[in-house]
Each structure stands twice: as C-alpha cells, then as structure tokens.
Structure 1
C-alpha cells in the first residue's frame, strides 16, 4: 500500500465518485471481430483494467504488494458472473464502473459494469481471492481491508 494516491491523474486511471470507480476506454479495431462488434473475450480486458485502476485510485500499488512481506501478496480472480446485455462497437467510449460489495479475510467481491453513452452493455460480479507468491490463499493485511471497506462505506 502507499500513503499517496496515484499520480497518474484522472485521464489515466479514472476517478472515484461516491465510492465507485469510473474508467473511460475507447473501443479500438483490435477489440472487435470482423463486424466491428467487440469480441466477447475483450470485455474481460476492460473489466480487468477497471479493477486495476480502481485499486490504483485507492492508493494500492499492486507491484508493491508482491513484496509487502515475506509471503508476498497478489489478487486472483476466483469466480466471475457476466451478463452481456448489448454489444459495444468500434470507436465507442466505454465507461467501466467498479465498486466493492464485500471485503473479508482472503476475498473481496466487486460489482462492475460497462456502458456506452449511458446505455448498460455488460455487468459482472467478480470474486477475487488474495494469494501469496506461492499461489496459496492468505489474509488481506488490515490496512488493505480497511481501504477497501472504506471505499464500500463511501458508497452508502
């Protein structure tokens, strides 16, 4: 963890508003299939960027977590429920939102959505587990859990 918030600024890592993280991303040609519609697997990339920049905006630097103590710490997606509602298309500006719904022990649950021009495209519920450098479950440090819980409380 770091005491300072990200120096990347809102243009790179998005922003926090009412405990919810917002990130804008453009759909590029590489994200689409032959018809100009976003390929289904690319939504996972957009959601991952949302989760990563959410942590960054909370002041959590993942590269420093790997060496936080002798165990090391990393996050791994354990379970994900996705619902595809409408397709995104080339050149759309997507808004990825992320919020913590639960952070306990060795896991956290995040709710995410992707929209374009105010239209909901995709929703996801993501369960993330905390692991050590050997891939075994470990508890979150108290300060990290407090940061995630504070973000959740800010949403109320």
Structure 2
C-alpha cells in the first residue's frame, strides 16, 4: 500500500477493501470507514514529513485525539473495491484542527466526514506546533 500523495491542499490515499473490512454481506462495515479515514489523517502528516511517532517523542508526548466527528454514509463500498480517502485541512484553531474527509470510489463520494482533532499532551489540550501549521498551509 502506498502512503498516497499531498497536492493542491488535499492528501489522497488509495485503499483496497478486503474481506476483513466487510460485514457478512460483503459490504464495508461502517466502522471500517473510521479506520480508512484514520489512515488518511496519519498519511497526510507522513506526506508532510511529520510522523505522529516523532511528534510524540520529540514534542514531549504530543498526540492527536479525535474530539468530534460528523459522518454522512451515502453509498456502500464492497469487497475488492479500490477506494480513495481524500483528506483536506479545513480550519486550524489553537489546539485543534478540523479536517474534511471523503471516501470515494472513482468520482463517487461514498462517505464524507468532518473531523475535529485536538493536540494533547498528558491529557491536556496544547497548541498545535507552528511548524505543523505551516506544513498544512494554515500558519
């Protein structure tokens, strides 16, 4: 699997649907989309040369936690489909950012989500580092 690519403010990650991602009927189980989108957010950072493990180590335990997520399940994906997870930074605040995400099959949007993540250290919200803000085009 490739880590995708970041261009024109959007990260695009290809994802293949496997048997383990589906329910008994061969349709993608709703929670699998959460994993696909988590991978999209992680690979967005990696594409900007920011590994979450490095943030945790180098920034004294900095991590991101999902604070809120709004999801619209529009159409089902099925086993063996090749999907794309598109992730775009939408809004940056002090300790949080909102990301717009879509899971697509070709040009068809299957799932869309707005995800707010908070930067935390030792269980408390902290300001998102300026270097990461600049890398995301938000600083």
TM-score range, shorter chain: over 0.9
Alignment of 1:4-153 (within 5 A): 12-69=2-59, 71-132=60-121, 134-148=122-136, 150=137
Whole-Å Cα distance in 1 between the matches of residues 14 and 108 of structure 2? 14
Given the two structures, how large is their TM-score scaled by the length of structure 2? 0.95
**Aligned Cα RMSD in Å?**
1.4
1:77-105 CA-partner distances (Å, limit 9, x unpaired): 00000000000000000100000011121
Report the secondary structure of 2:20's partner residue.
helix
Report the secondary structure of 1:88's partner residue.
coil
Runs of 4+ more than 2 Å apart: none
Whole-Å Cα distance in 2 between the matches of residues 17 and 143 of structure 1? 18
The Cα shift of 1:117 comes to: 2.4
Report the secondary structure of 1:65's partner residue.
helix
Whole-Å Cα distance in 1 between the matches of residues 48 and 93 of structure 2? 17
Matched-pair contact (CA < 8 Å) for 1:104–1:145: no
1:36-55 CA-partner distances (Å, limit 9, x unpaired): 00001110000000000011
* Count of aligned residue pairs for this structure pair: 139
Structure 2 gaps of 5+ residues are none
Given the two structures, how large is their TM-score scaled by the length of structure 1? 0.85
The Cα shift of 1:147 comes to: 1.5
The answer to which structure has the higher strand fraction is: 2
